[in-house]
A and B are shown apart, each in its own frame.
Chain A
């Protein structure tokens, strides 16, 4: 009987063993966290606060970029053509411009169309009627591709276009684009710096909590190692604890961000009304939520890994 059992037990499939080990480790991790509820909640809160800051900055960057894009749609290089230009010349010029990589689209407005638009807007009243000739030149609006070109490149594109013989004058308004672009770059850099800083602190916070947790379980770890536990077995519950800290911490961060946006929403509406425009706020998308949780769990795992290894190596056994 004993012999039979012995043989049977030595045939545990590695997969069953793996599943059993992980199941036990998860139970163990949850049990360990629930034994110190205050520490657990505080750690998750700290992780949540630390992660919500970079997440907020990420939203600011996204909004700046979307603002940049809407300005992009408005930003154009206007090419005023010489009066002498014939229709065929203009058409060949347009196709030549369109070949350019940095050009997203063009819009041709003939002199007659320009005059009609002008009259429709009735800007100068009947003043235009006093002029016998159409004073307006034909215009080609060139829309640069902002995703490809930075403001400096748009400017040099404009200079290049001004070189064409048919072009009388190229006019461009990139000042706002430039401003927004540099603000976005600046905020992006701040986001990276803050993120690195906070990622480091999340690692330390989780690592430190795991270390304290490890002290509480010193006896269990020593006895486990004595009866043949591998380092991996000892480490596993700590890794799951770290994962839990990271996961719940990032959920807290996400809810902080959402609450913050809810709180800001009335102000944004007011601002939007003042500017008589619709400011569309880009919030947290599904992929943002996933990446915050992913980053949180990775950091939890990393902090736990470092702390658990230090703990294991500090044991004399």
Chain B
């Protein structure tokens, strides 16, 4: 699904965020990107969402070399990728429902279909009863779940989550990770960046450890991992 070949990224200030990454994420696979902050996890996800471009190397998304996408095609690529950040960046001037509906409005969906899909998404994250609330009145965990609902409402093929539990306490974090696991079970490819190893160790999925812009370890965290076998 996603193939990174010799990816390097040097920012304008001269910082080398990634120094030669080779990775292959299979379709419907779930992986954790681990490593300390500054290891390059966020940069790697940004390259896949085309928020950043690599300095060298290729990112192949399904069969598309992302380097070949023109500026006008980037929005259509982003509709195939759901992005979740540590800070869910919800818009406070509108309800939870309207926040989740934004990607559908952007894609020009009709109101009826929007209603149907937003409700389904909110139901999945367990917030259907709070659809009309203002985001700032929700707890941190609920806000993050609204962010997740927004990321999945467009039914993306891939979800990229950058420290999604960074602001949450352990039990809420566990809930979020379980939610990701359920999404993975319906066939969505997930890349979750986190530095919280205590949280990820319970999940029998591939852990890719980054350090100083390089992959230093990639293991399946289990002897009998179903997820990475499933292609």
Contact = CB atoms under 8 A, between A and B. Distances in A.
A18 B76 CA distance: 16
B197 interface: no
A302 to B, nearest CB: 22
Contacts of A229: 75, 106
A9 B109 contact: yes
Interface string B99-115: 00011011111110100
A219 B108 contact: no
Contact of A12 (B49, B77, B108, B154): B108
B100 to A, nearest CB: 10
A228 B107 contact: yes
Interface string A203-232: 000000000000000011011111111110
Contact of A226 (B72, B78, B155): B78
A291 interface: no
Interface in B25-66: 49, 51
Interface in B103-133: 103, 105-111, 113, 116-117
A219 B75 contact: no
Q: Which of A21, A223, A226, A317 has the most CB of B within 10 A?
A: A226
A19 B83 CA distance: 28
Contacts of B93: 220
Contacts of B77: 228
Interface string A21-55: 10010000000000000000000000000000000
Interface string A4-15: 011011001000
B103 A227 contact: yes
Interface in A170-199: none
Contact of B76 (A20, A228, A317): A228
B89 interface: yes
B92 to A, nearest CB: 8
A277 B109 CA distance: 67
B231 interface: no
B155 A230 contact: no
Q: Which of B51, B108, B111, B150 has the most CB of A within 10 A?
A: B108
11 contacts: A5-B117, A9-B109, A9-B113, A12-B108, A20-B108, A24-B105, A225-B78, A227-B78, A227-B83, A227-B103, A228-B77
Contacts of A21: 108
B75 A18 contact: no
Contact of A224 (B83, B106, B110, B155): B106
A260 B116 CA distance: 56
Interface residues of B, number: 28
Nearest to B89: A223
Interface SS majority for chain A: helix
A113 B223 CA distance: 126
A227 B121 CA distance: 15
B67 interface: no
Contacts of B107: 17, 228
A167 to B, nearest CB: 75
Contact of A20 (B51, B78, B110): B110
B207 interface: no
A230 B108 contact: no
A173 B58 CA distance: 85
Contact of A230 (B51, B75, B103, B113): B75
Interface string B124-153: 000000000000000000000000001000
A124 interface: no
Contacts of B155: 2, 6
Nearest to B108: A17
A57 interface: no
A227 B102 contact: yes
Contact of A228 (B51, B72, B75, B116): B75
Contacts of A222: 89
Contacts of A131: none
Contacts of A262: none
A199 to B, nearest CB: 31
A159 to B, nearest CB: 67
Given A5-B116, A226-B78, A233 B91 contact: no
A130 interface: no
A84 interface: no
B210 to A, nearest CB: 23
Interface in A108-165: none
B79 interface: yes
A18 B108 contact: yes
Contact of B106 (A8, A12, A18, A228): A228
Contacts of B186: 2
A16 interface: yes
A16 B114 CA distance: 14
A228 B110 CA distance: 17
